[in-house]
Structure 1
Amino acid sequence: MPDAPTPVATVRWRAHLGSDAPREPGLIHVRHAAEANVFACPLPSLGGDFDRESWRITGPLEQGHAEGWGYVAGRGMAFAALHIDDGEHIDRPEQIQQAAFDTYNQLFRLQRSLGLGQVQRIWHWLSNVTAGEGDDERYRRFCRGRAEALDGHDHGMPVLPPATLVSSHRRGLRMHALLADTAVVPIENPRQVSAYAYPRDYGERPPAFARGGRVQLGATSYLLISGTASIVGHESRHVGDVSAQAREALDNVRAVMRNADCWQADRDLGALECLKAYIRDPDHAGVVAEIAAAEAPGVPLALLHAPLCRPELLVEFEAQMPLP
């Protein structure tokens, strides 16, 4: 797949380093930007507001690189990023499986070096995600490699965190991870089979993530909601109908909020701090934006162009909200 235009979302940080540097709170801020670096989200923007996705750290930040990952770390927290070019040899499907195994183990070693015991949230962008047949589909091979890394006993995911995986517009695999020294309380969705319990139809090893998680980041508690699509049970719904898929996916976001015991009926989805939509067909951006604005009024929305991990899925949302 050829490179897309310059990516439009990246993580910015202010680093206060050295003995004479001011001791101000650091800020890791996901926002629109022109730079193309490992902290960039490799997806074209279809509009909206990326500025609300930010992580504030009490204390100065430092930038570093270890185990193949770049990172920005502060007191009890870090944001890490990695990109590998896997060459996309479809005739060698074991390549992406090995890449998933290696990158997760590198992440766990990075955690140990930083003294941070839990992955709080993780994002994956895998180019040509549904290429390949049967169990050799790239996404299924990725899930197998990740699961093999998690089979080890010495890793940094004592519980599964929330996560997103969509296709990338840059060749290879890119990952972002939010790390901290506090536990994640995983949240599932009673409307859906837990991803890690999917039947064999979806691959030799199922996906490994929670539908959401309650986390403590600095002084703030958050509910972080994984990439959420039009799936009920384990089956895709409303094939070919982007409007119905968007509404079903937002009903799943509501279900996670209810199951996390943070539902406020009078605020509904308006309680979210931000909402992000991954959209397969750019022509659907207006429809998705209109539905999101109606169902989550006033919530900042970022629209990104991304094919999803099932060919029939047209839109997927992720979200976050601060908790009392």
Structure 2
Amino acid sequence: MRPERGRLHRFLPEPPPAGGEEGPALLGTSRIGLLAPADSVPGLPTQHILAPLLDGAPVEAWFGRHACRAGEAHGVSFRSDGELLFGVIELAEAAFVGDGAVTPLQQAGQQAYGSLFRVLAEEGFPHLWRVWNYLGDINGETAGLERYRQFNIGRHQAFEAAGRLDMDSIPAASALGVAGGPLSIAFLAGRLPAQPVENPRQMSAYRYPAEYGPRSPTFSRAALGRLAGEEWLFVSGTASIVGHHSIHHGDPVAQTREIVANLEALLAEASRRTDGPAYRLDELSARVYVRHPEDYPAVRAELAGALGTAAPVVYLQADVCRADLLVEVEAQACHLLP
């Protein structure tokens, strides 16, 4: 069947009203940009992405198919419709002291994921589908180690402690750098497992060599999650990487073209694993992160040619996890199943 846009995920100019028709089924939102609108739904899990919005809608909303129940535990705000659970946890690094060998960011990452996993266990949603991570100064260095690598250590430790390092259950994810604010993590989880999808053009991130840090990043390149009658493809943050090497240094247009090639390879791999139609570039909705705002017009023109001018896309200024990467694209798509 043809893909469906907008049932679970939607970019909006403002938050859905609490008393609106879709209010009871609203799982959560992300407020994108420094001037994103304030919350409108009490108890709504909301991730605040403190990065300049270059183009697109400032609110990203996730909807369930049933009325939602809200909760808060272990510092995690969440809502669930019985099929999916969307949650947010935000931790200030200043609340952690470190001890020389362990940095505050590593501690914050380990605690945030540990809290997340406890909520999933208590609420009966054991399967993590998608995660969005934002941290300040991602490429900066403290205690002799890049901050993204510090975060990876803490995240890996939490996965290990929870017994979640099985490569068949690692979620799709992205990690971007913003100007400041807390470590902010949003996630979507299900009662049923999502199927990880890897990119044949790229080494799996969790198998990266030691040159990328003491612990590899813990995420899959994409994931396929199924609900009754539909399938969702979640594409992790995708950059100009072939094998494990960054390529096209200093050229944002060439990096964007390489990203499109990686997206095409991922969609082809996902299409081999689905019972529905093949996935296509022109059915994606996406967030695009551009390191330098002056590169945005050229990046947008390149992606419009690949995704189509009607694709729902939001552009932000943010730092990619490697200092030599200038652009990153994350996306999702939905197929109705026979």
TM-score after normalising by structure 2: 0.82
1:269-284 equivalences in 2 (<5 Å): 269-272=281-284, 274-284=285-295
Match status 1:35 vs 2:45: no
**Deviation per residue, 1:185-240 (Å, 9 max, x gap):** 00000000000000000001100000000002465311110000000000101000
Contact 1:228 1:249 survives alignment (8 Å): yes
Unaligned runs of 5+ in 1: 1-7, 17-21
Aligned-residue identity in percent: 31
User: Contact (CA 8 Å) 2:16, 2:22: kept in 1 or not?
Assistant: no
Asked if residue 214 in structure 1 is aligned to residue 224 in structure 2, the reply is: yes
- Matched with 1:19 is none
Q: What letter corresponds to residue 219 of structure 2 in structure 1?
A: F
Q: Which among 181, 184, 198 is matched to residue 174 of structure 1?
A: 184
> Are the counterparts in 1 of residues 84 and 188 from structure 2 also a CA contact under 8 Å?
yes
Rate the CA distance shift 1:11–1:70 in 2: closer, same or farther, 3 A.
farther
Alignment correspondent of 2:334: 322
Structure 1 position 169, deviation (Å): 2.6
Matching residue within 74, 79, 85 for 2:86 = 79
1:238 corresponds to which letter in structure 2?
H
**Which of 119, 123, 128 is the aligned partner of 2:128?**
119
Deviation at 1:61, TM superposition (A): 1.3
- In 2, Cα distance between equivalents of 1:266 and 1:15: 36
Alignment of 1:21-170 (within 5 A): 26-28=25-27, 33-35=36-38, 38-49=46-57, 54-87=61-94, 94-132=103-141, 136-154=145-163, 159-170=169-180
Contact 1:10 1:41 in 2 (8 A): no
Compared CA separation, residues 253 and 210, structure 1 to 2 (3 A): same
The amino acid that maps onto 2:226 is Q
Aligned-residue RMSD, C-alpha: 3.2
Q: Is the CA contact (8 Å cut-off) linking 1:23 and 1:59 kept in structure 2?
A: no
Shift of 1:268: 4.2
Counterpart-to-counterpart distance in 2, 1:9 and 1:86: 31
* Distance (whole Å) between structure 2 residues aligned to residue 231 and residue 79 of structure 1: 30
Indicate the SS of the match to 1:121: strand
Distance 1:204 1:107 in 2: 23
Match of residue 292 from structure 1? 303
Residue 91 of structure 1 and its aligned partner are, at CA, apart by 10
Aligned residues: 311
Task: Flag the 1:153–1:188 CA change in 2: closer, same or farther, 3 A.
Answer: same
Using structure 1 for the length normalisation, give the TM-score: 0.85
Q: Which amino acid aligns with 1:317?
A: V
